[in-house]
Amino acid sequence: MMPTLNILMIEDEAADFLLIKRHLRTGGLETDLHWVQEEAGLHRALEHGGWDVVLSDYKVPGLDFAQSLAKIKDRLPDVPVILISGSIGEETAVELFKSGLADFVLKDRLFRLIPAIERCLNEAGEKRKRRTAEARLVRNEQLMRSVLEGTADAVFVKDGEGKYLLFNAAAARFAGVMAEQVIGHDDTVVFPPATAQKIIEQDRMIMASGRVNIFEDEVLHVGGEIRCYLTTKGPTFADDGQVNGLFGIAHDITDRIRAEVLLKNQEEEYRRLSQEYKTLLDNVPDVIVHLTNDYRILWVNRAARQMFKLAEDSRSYQGRHCHEVFWSRPEQCTDCPIVRCASTECNEIGFLSPAHNGQEFEIRAIPMRNQAGEIGSIIEIARDITAHRKLEEQFRQAQKMESIGTLAGGIAHDFNNILSAILGYGDLALEDMAEDHPARKSVQTMIEAGMRASHLTKDLLLFSRKQVSQKEAVDINQIIGRIEKFIRRIIGEDILCQTHLAKESLVIHADSHQMDQVLMNFATNARDAMPGGGVFSITTERIRIDQDFIDLHGFGIPGPYARITVADTGKGMNPQTVAKIFDPFFTTKEMGKGTGLGLAVVYGIIKQHQGHIEVTSTPGKCTVLTVYLPLLAADPHDHRDTIGLEQPRGGRETILLAEDEPTVRELYATVLKKNGYGVIEATDGEEAVRVFTEHKEAIDLLLFDLVMPKMNGKQAYEAIQHLQPAIKGIFISGYAPENIQQRELLDMHVEILFKPVSPRDLLRAVRHALDASRGTAG
């Protein structure tokens, strides 16, 4: 997950700033957005620093963008600057990019903004990495030069003609010459002719073979001194891989005894380090195996011994082929990364192994080359990625549910507008009809059908998680006790219904209607799974989820929960079916007998209640669904809604109505006018603000659709509050997106009605809001 980004936003228009802020948040980008509107604010922001990225409009009064860009790049050279504007000329854009602009996004194409931010941050990170690498290279070169000049061994480098390119201080001291006298010349200026000729022949052999070699020679210096050196020489290579010279390290071994002691000490140190490395690798959770180039085991770490159940004594497997020991196969595996590594001589290969005891591993093979460049052995590293695969599958499932949920929410939103008109005008028609009117029954039937459609819309909104639950503190045992008689009717007399409820109250924060819906859905599915009869049971109990539970099940927050276990003795399901039962439109029923939305809606309800649901099933035997819901320490009788008991009444006040759907707007206006209210209509948020400005003294209440073109209901309400802070309002919406419910976005005490809204509920809300604004409520 990307950390919260500190973003500096230079923009003079509040609407554009809010639009961009909302786009970043809905795009999933965690940001801390700082708004700057003028030069002084920009100066303070640059002094403050700490910005990850800068977003700026091109035309901001009092600020020249080119100058602002220059200031930002001067003060914060590593921070990318992205221009967000309506339109600029091509030549201007080119000049800005030359001046350091990172990217340019049109305001009508904000879908490019988040990818642009991520790309710019990645590029900035890469630039910092390159600068760090360059600085490290300079330091390494300085360190290497210090090492070369400070070492006691003679170090030299020659070109292809045998002329010296490097001659360190120790080499100059051994030879008794100045390094400046040697650079650019061959050995004839350092050694007597015979010695020089011998060295030249060694050099030719090294460059011809392309291999490292070691020589032990007595060297006669120009001054007549004879010293014994152990010299390591090896080829150097050009970019095309051709030998272009050689390097050499000469160690003075005149004092042979001292050299032998030093060698012995080095061998002991190597053995010590080797043992330490083995101990370290034994504590690595990944499987690590060291193999010869013909696939025989040299060493395995503890994780490998545990996985393949090998003995601690390495004699039982050391020297044997890996396919014999690990897989009990007489021949090498056909698609083994170890074989591919040895045959292609690549540096490393990634490979996903077949499942081993339910686990899946990522295997990497790394060749270990000797001084001659040949593969002497191979390191195999296997990492358990089973949990990673499960997380990937959960992520894909969440994406799929989110995309289908968005579609369902959009359909339900539009359908709610249609239902508002059908049910609203139906109620109005009933009010004007006598009890014995011949069309009254037809209208009532139409309204009942509309209400059934409304329930279907709520199911879609629940599935998309965009329906706001009417939650209160309720005892789940009481809900089950109340609905038990309806469940018995649904499942039929041939199925035994049993309930085992906890003796104590299990108080949860829930929507009772939605809990009824969950239980009824479980019952109907159980009935269909037991066509020949059986047992359907519901059990409740209080449990406490702790960290051990979370680690085992992969969900939950520590605390008390109500566990509801629903079981049947039906046909059961195979694992493939269990994996899909919460998918929308997936059903095991015959064509025409199931929509496939039932359990998808149940899943949405449980998630809206911060709960979790598990399914276990055995084909031919049973299915068990377990629901976990967090408990409250509250009395359910303390949470009662008394507003619904009020009787709606009319009034003489004037209401500003803003609704972009003509049919719905006409319905609300008709209801309000019929009950004595004055109504001024607007088709969108901008028109509503303009109308209010013209008639603000006459308007007593705002009734705004929450989602409208040009300017939404919230924005229009805020604009009007600047003109008249005390004005009251009511929002209406076909659905309530999650961001609308966030306190930081809707920081105002405004009632929200959710479509379809009946005339009675509309009048009750209007009267309540008007009375509350005058201090006469109650």
Encoded tokens for 455? 């329930």
Q: What is the pLDDT of residue 69?
A: 86
Residues 6+ apart with CB under 8 A from 43: none
Q: Give the model confidence (pLDDT) of 451-495 as tens digits.
A: 767 766 665 555 554 445 567 889 999 999 888 887 887 888 888
CATH of 285-384, one of 3.90.1300.10, 3.30.70.990, 3.30.450.20, 3.40.50.720: 3.30.450.20
Confidence label for 648 from pLDDT (cuts 50, 70 and 90): confident
Q: Is the predicted pLDDT of residue 292 greater than 50, yes or no?
A: yes
Residues 174 and 252: beta-carbon distance below 8 Å: yes
Q: What is the pLDDT of residue 591?
A: 41
Longest C-alpha distance within the chain, in Å?
A: 136
Confidence label for 739 from pLDDT (cuts 50, 70 and 90): very low
d(CA 171, CA 157): 11
Q: Give the model confidence (pLDDT) of 398-417 as tens digits.
A: 676 667 666 666 676 677 77
d(CA 165, CA 145): 14
| Alpha-helical runs (H) found in 696-758 | 713-723
d(CA 234, CA 236): 7
Encoded tokens for 449? 């059908």
Comparing CA positions, the residue from 613, 729, 712 lying closest to residue 659 is 712
Residues 6+ apart with CB under 8 A from 367: 341, 342, 345, 346, 347, 348, 375, 377, 378
d(CA 611, CA 605): 9
d(CA 602, CA 380): 47
Residue with tokens 């609704």: 659
Q: What is the pLDDT of residue 222?
A: 54
How many C-beta atoms lie closer than 10 Å to residue 30's C-beta?
11
Sheet with 678-682, side-by-side order of all strands: 678-682, 654-658, 701-705, 728-733, 751-754
Mean pLDDT of 618-623: 84
Q: Give the model confidence (pLDDT) of 338-395 as tens digits.
A: 777 766 656 555 555 554 555 677 788 888 887 777 888 888 888 877 777 767 776 7
Q: Is the predicted pLDDT of residue 263 greater than 80, yes or no?
A: no
Encoded tokens for 266? 């080095």
Q: What is the pLDDT of residue 540?
A: 94
Q: Give the model confidence (pLDDT) of 193-222 as tens digits.
A: 888 888 899 999 999 998 999 988 777 665
What residue type is assigned to position 615 of the chain? V
d(CA 731, CA 714): 8
Q: What is the pLDDT of residue 548?
A: 84
Q: Is the predicted pLDDT of residue 733 greater than 90, yes or no?
A: no
> Could you write out the DSSP letters of every residue in 8-33?
EEE-S-HHHHHHHHHHHHHTT--EEE
* The CA-based dihedral angle spanning residues 288, 294, 297, 300, taken in that order and rounded to the nearest 10 degrees: -10
Q: What is the pLDDT of residue 682?
A: 94
> Could you write out the DSSP letters of every residue in 243-254?
EEEEEEEEEE-S
Q: Is the predicted pLDDT of residue 749 greater than 80, yes or no?
A: no
How many C-beta atoms lie closer than 10 Å to residue 474's C-beta?
22
Q: At what angle do helices 759-773 and 662-674 cross, to 10 degrees?
A: 60
Q: Give the model confidence (pLDDT) of 14-73 as tens digits.
A: 888 888 888 888 888 888 889 988 888 888 888 888 888 999 888 888 888 888 888 888
How many C-beta atoms lie closer than 10 Å to residue 50's C-beta?
11
Comparing CA positions, the residue from 685, 742, 683 lying closest to residue 714 is 685
CATH of 151-254, one of 3.30.450.20, 3.30.70.120, 3.90.110.10, 3.40.50.970: 3.30.450.20
Q: What is the pTM of this model?
A: 0.37
Average pLDDT along the chain: 80
d(CA 653, CA 730): 15
Q: Give the model confidence (pLDDT) of 117-172 as tens digits.
A: 888 888 888 887 888 888 888 888 778 777 777 788 889 999 999 999 988 888 88
Q: What is the pLDDT of residue 273?
A: 64
Encoded tokens for 198? 């011998």
φ, ψ for residue 244, nearest 5 deg: -125, 10
Annotated domain spans of the chain:
5-129, 151-254, 285-384, 472-638, 644-773
Q: What percent of the chain has pLDDT over 90?
A: 16
* The CA-based dihedral angle spanning residues 356, 547, 583, 358, taken in that order and rounded to the nearest 10 degrees: 10
Q: Which helix (H) or strand (E) holds 430?
A: helix 386-431
Q: Give the model confidence (pLDDT) of 536-593 as tens digits.
A: 999 999 999 888 888 887 788 889 999 999 999 888 888 877 777 777 655 665 543 4
* Cα 289 to Cα 362, 378, 464, 710, distances in angstroms: 14, 8, 49, 65
Encoded tokens for 325? 């020991």
φ, ψ for residue 400, nearest 5 deg: -65, -45
d(CA 322, CA 330): 10
Residues 601 and 463: beta-carbon distance below 8 Å: yes
d(CA 497, CA 539): 11
Give the pairing type, strands 375-384 and 361-369: antiparallel
Encoded tokens for 350? 């990634």
CATH architecture for residues 644-773 = 3-Layer(aba) Sandwich (3.40)
Q: What is the pLDDT of residue 747?
A: 52
**Domain spanning 472-638 has what CATH number?**
3.30.565.10
Residue with tokens 């809905």: 26
Count how many residues are written for the chain: 778
Write the secondary structure of 177-235 as one string of H (helix), E (strand) and C (coil): CCHHHHCCCCHHHCCCHHHHHHHHHHHHHHHHHCCCEEEEEEEECCCCCEEEEEEEEEE
Q: Which helix (H) or strand (E) holds 394?
A: helix 386-431
d(CA 695, CA 716): 15
What residue type is assigned to position 67 of the chain? Q
Strands (E), 402-481: 472-475
339-348, 436-445, 707-716, 728-737: lowest mean pLDDT where?
339-348
* Cα 183 to Cα 102, 156, 166, 179, 201, distances in angstroms: 47, 10, 7, 6, 20
CATH entry 3.40.50.300 includes domain 5-129: no
Mean pLDDT of 315-344: 76
> CA 530, 532, 537 angle in degrees (round to 5)?
40
Q: Which helix (H) or strand (E) holds 165?
A: strand 164-167
Q: What percent of the chain has pLDDT over 70?
A: 83
Residue 89: burial class (beta carbons within 10 Å; 0-12, 13-18, 19+): exposed
Residues 361 and 348: beta-carbon distance below 8 Å: no
Q: What is the pLDDT of residue 778?
A: 39
Q: Is the predicted pLDDT of residue 295 greater than 50, yes or no?
A: yes
* Fold agreement between 151-254 and 472-638: no
CA 140 to chain centre: 38
Mean pLDDT of 665-681: 91
d(CA 19, CA 622): 52
d(CA 634, CA 640): 13
Peptide bond into 756 cis (omega under 30): yes
